[in-house]
Amino acid sequence: MAKRITLQSLLKDADERVRQAAADAINNASETLQRDIKANMAAQGIRERTGRLRGSLESTKATKSRLNVVIKSEVYAPTPKRPGSRNPAMKGRYKYGVPYGRILEFSPRINKPFFYTAWYKNKNKIKEIVMKEVSNAWSG
């Protein structure tokens, strides 16, 4: 079995121009992926009423020193009118409950994945684009 090489380890000794090209390609790919995730949400009926889930989708940016991106949406259920009346451990907590994204994507009742379908659709294309940009920067 072939050993997997991460982009971070591959570009460990690369110059800043190559690392910046990789970071830019990863950032562009994450923006494309976010657009597809939001389109999947809209197609499956996930509107803004579900806790501003579509509007809160954001990602960290890749930099020359850190070539990874985290796409997340952290929207929690609203705090009840009387927090802690049923569960005293929840009184005074800022975030209440489980994030909506986790509930909507993986619940047996709803089960309408929006992130993973976008990721599986774009995974190979993203890999090709990043490899192309890195090779162009490395050779150019």
Q: Are 74 and 99 in contact (CB under 8 A)?
A: yes
Asked whether residue 135 is domain-assigned, the answer is yes
Sign for the CA dihedral angle at 43, 100, 77, 72 comes to negative
Asked whether residue 120 is domain-assigned, the answer is yes
pLDDT tens digit string along 49-58? 555 777 778 8
Asked whether residue 60 is domain-assigned, the answer is yes
Distance of alpha carbon 36 from alpha carbon 115, whole angstroms:
8
Distance of alpha carbon 77 from alpha carbon 75, whole angstroms:
7
Asked whether residue 99 is domain-assigned, the answer is yes
- Determine the average pLDDT of the residues in 19-48: 87
Asked whether residue 54 is domain-assigned, the answer is yes
Asked whether residue 56 is domain-assigned, the answer is yes
Q: Are 76 and 100 in contact (CB under 8 A)?
A: yes
Asked whether residue 6 is domain-assigned, the answer is no
pTM, entire model: 0.73
Structure tokens at 140: 């150019």
pLDDT tens digit string along 99-130? 656 656 666 666 778 888 888 999 999 999 99
Does 5 have pLDDT greater than 60? yes
- Determine the average pLDDT of the residues in 86-100: 58
User: Looking at per-residue confidence, does 112 or 22 come out higher?
Assistant: 22
pLDDT at site 92: 57
Does 26 have pLDDT greater than 60? yes
Asked whether residue 113 is domain-assigned, the answer is yes
Backbone phi, then psi, for 25, in 5-degree steps? Answer: -65, -40
pLDDT tens digit string along 58-90? 888 999 888 888 888 776 666 666 666 666 665
Q: How many folded domains does the chain comprise?
A: 1
- Which structural domain range is residue 61 located in? 15-78+87-139
